[in-house]
Structure 1
Amino acid sequence: MSIDLAELRKLSVAERIQLAEDLWDSIALQPAQVPGVSDAQKQELQRRLQAHEQDPSAAVPWEQVHAELMARSGSR
C-alpha cells in the first residue's frame, strides 16, 4: 500500500485529526492484531512499579504535570 503524504498534508488540521481518529478506531476493532508489550517494556514497567511502591510520595499528580507542560508550551 502506498500513501501519498504530500496529499495528506493538504488536508486541513481538522481533517487530519479526524483521519487519525478513524485510524485509531479501525485498530481498536482488531485488538488481537495489536502488538503486545515487549519484554523490555515489561521490565521497565515492573521497575517503575517497584520504585513507586518503595516511595509513593515521589509521584507527581497529573494536574501538576499537566500545568507544567502547558506552561512550557505556552498553552492554557
Structure 2
Amino acid sequence: MSSKLEVLQAEVLRLSPADRARLLDRLIASLDVDAGAEAVWDGLADEREHQLGVGEVQAVPLDVAVARLEARFPG
C-alpha cells in the first residue's frame, strides 16, 4: 500500500461511523459508471412503488422474503 493511501486510510478511520458510511456511499457511487443500468433499476423501483400504491401487488414481510430467497438459493 502506498504511503499516500495509508495516510488517507488513517484519516478516514478517524471519521465518525456515520461520516465513514456517507463516504463509502459516495465512493461506491463513483464506481457506478453504467448510468443506463441505474436508470432501468430506478424505473423498476418506481413501477413497483406504483403497483404497491394502487394495490396491484401486496407487500411481503422481510422475514418471509428472506426465507424464500434462502430456500431458493441455499448455502
User: Which range, TM-score by smaller chain?
Assistant: 0.3 to 0.5
With normalisation by structure 1, the TM-score equals 0.42
With normalisation by structure 2, the TM-score equals 0.43
